[in-house]
Structure 1
Amino acid sequence: MDSLKHEILSQRVRQIKPSGIRKFFDIINTMPDVISLGVGEPDFVTPEHIRQAGIASIQEGRTQYTSNQGTLALREEIALMLQRRYGLSYDPVSQLLVTIGVSEGLDIALRAILDPGDEVICPDPGYVAYEAGIILADGVSVPVPTYAQHGFAVRAAEIATAITPRTRVILIGSPNNPTGAVIPREELEGIARLAIAHDLIVISDEVYSRLVYGVEHVSISALPGMQERTILLDGFSKAYAMTGWRIGYVAAPAYLLSGMLKIHQYTIMCAGTAAQEAALQALRHGEEDVVRMHDEYARRGKMLVSGFNRIGLPCGEPHGAFYAFPYIGNTGLSDEEFAEKLLLEEEVAVVPGSSFGAAGTGYVRAAYCTAYDKLEAALVRIERFIKKYA
């Protein structure tokens, strides 16, 4: 019976490794005093005026389905924002789609493009859902390693060596989860040249695009010749502290969006109405909230990275998102051992870097989207912990 239970699952599902992050979350849930640096969850509450917009939608009875693509008002506002930020012109009717977070956008993008065996080049380390999403779309993940000496930014030269006749997609995330890397303009230009030369689609995950520190965020969609071959993914979870609202969007040329819309129509129908109205309020009136949270993340990140370096865990400066990625190899522990022992002995949660790919081995991800005083307390505990293993 056990073999039957195993075999009844598809080969795609059996290929997917259990999330290395969830293992630690399950332990965290049994430990009330843990300081969690493991979850990419803003500790800010969704701003009041945004919450009230969602509440008003419910109280006033606007609870029906919207268009499959999302309300036209929200799509029009997204189009205006993309024009302001990047100088990009998207048609709200045929080139924009509101999704259940960026995760759905990634899923339907991959499923709309890939045939069995098609290859997707993606950064290593990279967000855990990238590889799983590629497998579920019957594709083949081709990780390209990134390195601390380059700030963990994926480089065009390494992508070039990974391209084969089966390559269909280059998948990038900038800023990157888990490293906080922001891909410099010159590397994006190199990636764009590769995409054009080899007739590839680029999927660009930019959910942390508003959380960038001291450098320029460039959307590859805005580079010459790239809007027509790029699927831009972004959303409201991180910048507006709206993780639980599950609202993202896709901006893509009509010939690509039409394929994604087919999948979205049959699997999702539409994003939640109240959440869409909250997102509309966020775009129209939430800029001060974004700036306030951005500046606080920058303050926290500076302190945490400085602290890691001070206590002997080498850590480069993350230029985006809200993650630090210190090297823990000098402790003599593997990243898995480090994370598990730190959690059990000092009640501080971090995530092993190897959970995000082989190139993350020897590192841990520490999220600084928790309160400043908790980060200070976590550093005290981590310093005490590593002295035991020095």
Structure 2
Amino acid sequence: MSSPKPLPTRERLSEVRYEIRGELARRARELEAQGRKLIKLNIGNPGNFGFRAPEHLQHAIADDMGRTDPYTHQQGLPVARDAIAAAYARRGMPDAQAERVFVGNGVSELIDLSLRALLNPGDEVLVPSPDYPLWSAATILNDGRPVYYRCRPENGFQPDPVEIETLVSSRTRAIVLINPNNPSGASYPRELLEKIVAVARRHNLLLLVDEIYDQILYDGAAFQPLAPLAGDHPCLTFSGLSKVHRACGWRVGWMLLSGNAAQLGEFRAALDLLSALRLCANVPGQYAIDAAVNGPDTITALCSPGGRLYETRRAVIDACAASEHLELVAPAGALYAFPAVTGPAAQGFDDHGFALELMDDEGVLVVPGSSFNVPYRNHFRVTLLPDADTMRDVFGRIDRVLARRAERVTKVVPLKPRSAVG
């Protein structure tokens, strides 16, 4: 009897990468099953590093748990959408109304839903490089094509609006912005954002702005929301409870649609239809939204001198400055650092091979930089969530691996003496 044929899968999955939870993470699980202890810096997951969601958010869910059994409206609990609209109105967002708010099972679901509503096969989306790879994956899986605009390390990972405009084609439908950026930590100034909005206006492109790290800022860095600058131009703003409020597992995200109502009518209807098809987002977590967006600030202290995130970031900056093998554009925001390997250690450097060697030899899991859709292979990403002492230890281990690589590259093999000619 012949063996059954393997079940085929969708062909476009071959184009999708997500190394944050990919092959290296699977190798990590194998090592842990063998009893190895690893320091895993591949995911920005606060709960794995001892952070808890603020108590007033926990109480908000507990107090309303008795009301969480039924489905709710496909766009989210009315009280939650009212709270989000009010919070964003205070920021100057135009059209901050509850009927323009969509609550999802995390921002990830809403990214997929918005691209499904927008794209026809072959449509293009302008995506930053480096990007959070879900944006590329969701574009591909919704039959679109990501087109990358460069945010170069030598430019502080800031995008170039002139380059963005050169990439616009007749198939371009949207521009994605991640601000503050994951993985680089760059924060975009108002003047730059205004120029990108102008590009979107000239070409009638939807602005998709991922602002999940909007309040995680360091050393006086400022955050400029995009929607107030876009005004009546179509813009979708994404955020949620995962990062600022350290509640990743609750899977609570939201998006706000701003811009001219007549221009957005069909797109808004498509978002409503797709929201209805998945019935609704998880209900218990939605009862924490009002407490989160209208309650006390619990993140600024963590990002200020003496705060845990600030001190860990400073430990990374100091370690890279002291290393002869690393360079770093200091992150202005978000939960990550994106160092570059330089000098002899960078010769013939392969970020994936380095990540594997670092994990096998030193017990540290990082994400290769090429996972974030960049053309170079000499970067890696770490999360800033461990404490500062742990991070100093981590960068000591990283330097040991890089020193060994540099030694292998620079080691001179002595020439054999030539035999005498008789």
Q: Does 1:230 align with 2:235?
A: yes
Structure 1 runs (4+) deviating above 6 angstroms are none
- Give yes or no for the alignment of 1:136 onto 2:137: no
**Equivalent residue number for residue 187 of structure 1:** 192
- The counterpart of 2:303, out of the listed 287, 294, 303, is 294
Give the structure 2 partner of residue 321 of structure 1: 334
The 8 Å contact of residues 328 and 339 in structure 2, kept in 1 or not, is answered as yes
Contact 1:228 1:252 in 2 (8 A): no
Does 1:378 pair with 2:379? no
| Letter paired with 2:92 | Y
Q: 1:278, CA displacement in angstroms?
A: 2.0
Q: Distance in 2 between matches of 1:321 and 1:328?
A: 21
Supply the AA of the counterpart residue of 1:115.
N
C-alpha contact (below 8 Å) 2:177/2:208 kept by paired residues = yes
* Structure 2 counterpart SS, 1:169: strand
One-letter amino acid matched to 1:263: L
| CA-to-aligned-CA distance 1:190-227 (integer Å, 9 cap, x gap) | 111111011111111111111122322112211154x4
| SS of equivalent to 1:49 | helix
Aligned to 1:199: 204
Cα distance, 1:89–1:294 mapped onto 2, change above 3 Å: farther
Spell out the pairing of 1:122-161 with structure 2 (5 A cutoff): 122-161=127-166
C-alpha contact 1:96 1:252 (8 A) present in aligned 2: yes
Query: Paired residue for 1:365?
Result: 381
Once the 2 structures are TM-superposed, how far is the Cα of residue 104 of structure 1 from its aligned partner? 1.1
The residue that corresponds to 1:55 in the other structure is: 62
Q: What is the percent sequence identity of the aligned residues? A: 29
Q: Aligned match of 1:171 in 167, 171, 176?
A: 176
Counterpart AA for 1:301: R
| Counterpart residue number, 2:40 | 36
- Deviation of 1:352 (Å): 0.4
1:53: Cα distance to partner? 2.0
Offset at residue 360 of structure 1 (A): 4.9
- Residues 286 and 142 of structure 1, relative CA distance in 2, 3 Å threshold: same
User: For 1:163, what is the secondary structure of its paired residue?
Assistant: coil
- Counting only pairs closer than 5 Å after superposition, residues 101-140 of structure 1 correspond to structure 2 as 101-140=106-145
SS in 2 for 1:237: coil
After superposition, the Cα gap between the structure-2 partners of 1:18 and 1:372, relative to the gap in structure 1 and judged at 3 Å, is: closer
Distance apart, 1:167 and its partner CA: 0.7
TM-score, with structure 2 as normaliser: 0.86
* Cα displacement string for residues 46-91 of structure 1 (whole angstroms, at most 9, x for unaligned residues): 1222122222332x35322111111111111111111222354411
Larger Rg: 2
Judged with a 3 Å threshold, the aligned counterparts in structure 2 of structure 1 residues 21 and 359 are, in CA distance, closer, same or farther, namely: farther
Residues 276-285 or 245-254, more deviating:
276-285
Task: Tell whether 2:270 aligns with 1:270.
Answer: no
Moved more, 234-243 or 376-385: 376-385
For structure 1, list consecutive stretches of 5 or more residues without a partner in the other structure.
none
Task: After superposition, give the CA deviation of every residue in 1:176-197 in whole Å (9 maximum; x if it has no partner).
Answer: 1111112222221111111101
The residue matched to 2:299 in structure 1 has which SS? helix
1:151-171, CA deviations, whole angstroms, 9 ceiling, x for partnerless residues? Answer: 112221110111111111111
CA distance in 1, matches of 2:190, 2:294: 28
The two structures, once aligned, show a CA RMSD in angstroms of 2.0
Greater alpha carbon shift after TM alignment, 342-351 vs 277-286: 277-286
Residue 21 of structure 1 deviates from its aligned partner by: 4.0
Which secondary structure does the structure 2 equivalent of 1:160 belong to? helix
User: What's the CA shift for 1:105?
Assistant: 1.3
Q: In the alignment, is the contact (CA less than 8 A) between 2:18 and 2:371 conserved in 1?
A: no
Distance 1:343-1:86 versus aligned 2 partners, 3 A rule: farther
Preserved CA contact (<8 Å) 1:124 1:360: no
Q: Deviations over 1:84-141 (max 9, x none)?
A: 2235441102x11111111111111111111111111101110011111001111111
Query: CA separation in 2, counterparts of 1:169 and 1:105?
Result: 15
Paired letter, 2:389: D
Partners of 2:283 and 2:9 in 1: CA distance:
34
Look up the SS of the partner of 2:207 in the other structure.
Answer: strand
Q: Tell me how many residue pairs correspond in the alignment.
A: 384
Contact 2:216 2:300 in 1 (8 A): no
- Structure 2, unaligned stretches of length 5 or more? 259-263, 407-422
Residue of structure 1 in register with 2:270 after alignment: 259
**Alignment CA distance shift 1:240-1:10 (3 Å):** same
CA distance in 2 between counterparts of 1:145 and 1:359 reads 9
The more displaced of 310-319 and 278-287 is 278-287
What does residue 11 of structure 1 align with?
Answer: 11
User: 1-side partners of 2:269 and 2:96: how far apart?
Assistant: 14
Q: Output the CA distance in 2 between the equivalents of 1:292 and 1:216.
A: 15
Task: Output aligned runs, 1:242-253, within 5 Å.
Answer: 242-253=247-258
For 2:151 and 2:43, locate their aligned partners in 1 and report how far apart those are by CA, in whole Å. Answer: 22
